[in-house]
């Protein structure tokens, strides 16, 4: 290893490398990293690079044109009739009507992101996407309206803004002014819980037989499953849930290599 130093309290010393090689399919590169963790040695960022998850600006599953065309048709057929009513593109003035309006649009946004396996949305992109932009009736939601819908989803636990973080003094001035200094552009939309994704991931590993392999986080992001395109921090969270349940185990100190167990399911 390029940079090596002994680490204290090494939990990975308990890994039986020979037994692991007998039970699991594992590449030489991963073996070297696991061995370093067993010995309590540090590895460089360059050596870890091939095991780290892909970081995507817009976390979404890549779809073929045929699949996309099919999903668009299915999604449009499932939409409520009111998406073609001009008045639904105007925010109501009465408080009780506003909540109903937000609830209706938030349901459509959840359905949209789930259908197309989108984990991170961009308000500018949404504004150009049907039904948020409806060219049939020449109506579209404004960026502020889309932000209001995502804010509503956030209050319900289905969304989280990810690009409105500010430094300490910016936060202080924002508090004084009573409004944020940065605009909300991107947000996570959580149309499925992390616990559900964890169950899906383990089930897929078992059903495809890949449970006999040792995986890196990078591997997980390449499998073209709904959980593959999760934001990297969420994918790690999902893996940690499986580790806590005893259905998976981290095999290196940096927690980029993992194995799954077919005998320990939810």
Task: Give the CATH superfamily of 79-189.
Answer: "Winged helix" DNA-binding domain. Chain C. Domain 1 (1.10.10.570)
pTM equals 0.83
Q: Which string of DSSP letters, residue by residue, matches 144-212?
A: HHHHHHHHHHHHTTSEEE-S----HHHHHHHHHHTS-SS---EEEE-SS-HHHHHHHHHHHHHHHTGGG
Under-50 pLDDT residues of the chain: 1-9, 166-167, 265-266
Tally the residues of the chain. Answer: 266
| Alpha carbon distance 153, 184 (integer Å) | 14
Cα 120 to Cα 187, 231, 264: the distances in Å are: 5, 8, 31
Question: First vs last Cα of the chain: how many Å apart?
Answer: 37
| Whole-number pLDDT of residue 5 | 44
| Whole-number pLDDT of residue 6 | 47
Is 29 in contact with 194 (CB distance < 8 Å)? no
Q: Report the side by side order of strands in the sheet with 120-122.
A: 120-122, 186-189, 159-161
| Whole-number pLDDT of residue 174 | 59
Would you tell me the crossing angle of helices 232-244 and 194-208 to the nearest 10 degrees?
70
Domain locations in the chain as residue ranges:
14-52+194-260, 79-189
| Whole-number pLDDT of residue 120 | 96
């Amino acid at each position: 290893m390029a940079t090596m130093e002994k680490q204290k309290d090494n939990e990975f010393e308990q890994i039986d490398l020979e037994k692991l090689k007998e039970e699991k399919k594992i590449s030489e590169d991963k073996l070297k990293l696991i061995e370093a963790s067993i010995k309590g040695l540090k590895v460089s960022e360059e050596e870890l690079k091939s095991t780290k998850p892909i970081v995507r600006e817009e976390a979404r599953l890549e779809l073929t044109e045929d699949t996309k065309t099919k999903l668009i048709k299915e999604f449009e057929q499932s939409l409520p009739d009111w998406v073609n009513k001009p008045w639904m593109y105007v925010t109501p003035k009465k408080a009780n009507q506003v909540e109903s309006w937000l609830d209706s649009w938030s349901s459509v946004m959840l359905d949209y992101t789930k259908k197309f396996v989108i984990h991170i949305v961009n308000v500018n992109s949404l504004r150009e996407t049907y039904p948020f932009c409806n060219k049939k009736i020449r109506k579209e939601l404004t960026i502020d309206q889309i932000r209001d819908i995502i804010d509503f989803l956030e209050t319900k636990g289905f969304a989280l803004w990810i690009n409105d973080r500010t430094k300490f003094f910016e936060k202080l001035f924002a508090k004084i002014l009573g409004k944020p200094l940065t605009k909300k552009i991107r947000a996570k939309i959580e149309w499925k819980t992390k616990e559900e994704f964890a169950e899906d991931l383990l089930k897929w590993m078992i059903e495809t037989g890949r449970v006999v392999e040792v995986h890196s986080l990078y591997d997980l992001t390449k499998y073209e499953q709904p959980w593959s395109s999760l934001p990297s921090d969420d994918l790690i969270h999902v893996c940690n849930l499986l580790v806590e349940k005893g259905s998976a185990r981290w095999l290196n100190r940096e927690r980029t290599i993992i194995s799954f167990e077919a005998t320990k399911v939810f």
